[in-house]
Amino acid sequence: MKINTKIIAHRGSKGTRPENTLISFQTAIDDGADGLETDVHFSKDHQLIIMHDETVDRTTNGSGRIVDKNLAEIKHLDAGVRFSSEFKGTTVPTLQEVVELLIKDNFTGIFNLELKTNKIQYPGIEKAVFDYFASIDYPFQLIYSSFNARSLEILNRLDPKLAGAKLFKTAAKQAKTLKKDHLIADFHPDIRWLKRHPFFAPAQNLRPWTVNSTEDMQYCFERNLAAIITDYPARAVQIRSEMREGVE
């Protein structure tokens, strides 16, 4: 079976490592992921912090909002111990640290950076991210995504050639409008919504999340979608390989 669907590791290998940490990203790369997905926030001192939630409570031993903490405070947090004592002492990375890891690994796959501006606006974060990538050379394919259409519009204005994608659970109409206006290239829908609306968009424009079950992986591979975003990249790589070889 011809399957060109890419496998993008959601917050790294989130299912097997502490999410959005360097060890999570390295594991995903080692397991053969074609891409990485992660999330960025602004700290109090305008540092680009890699974490999913707006607060540090769920994934670290600390509490409070990222926007209320400076980088030094965030670096004192343990981002591994809540996942497992095996990863005690794991730190919260900055965007620069993640990019440096990818450069060191000569990672040439997809790097999908989600701007987490749907709950906290973080004025200026789009320009800060854009300026950072404009200042360096990197080997990977950079894709921006967000639930916040305004962030995608700002990034598109900074560089109309940037690859952007609209995340959504149900707001398909807004996503289609952004595509029609050439503000984004692709769609990142919830897999549950996509299965209810299978003809929403061409396969080459779809990268659904979070595709974790064997059934959902097979569903996406059979339709040859552009990519899946999954917590279990190693499992996805294995299932794709088996389907390509016709193994039952």
Which residues are tagged catalytic?
Answer: 10, 52
Helix (H) or strand (E) holding 150: helix 149-158
The single-letter code of the amino acid at 233 is P
Question: Beta partners for 94?
Answer: 49
CA separation for the pair 192, 132 (Å, rounded): 34
18: number of Cβ within 10 Å: 26
Question: Residue 10 pairs with which residues in a beta bridge?
Answer: 37
Handedness of CA 181, 184, 190, 192 (dihedral sign): positive
**206 exposure class (CB count in 10 Å sphere: 0-12, 13-18, 19+):** buried
Q: What distance in Å separates the CA atoms of residue 82 and residue 189, rounded to the nearest whole number?
A: 29
C-alpha 170/C-alpha 100 separation (Å) is 35
CA distance 120 to 148: 10
Beta bridge partners of 62: none
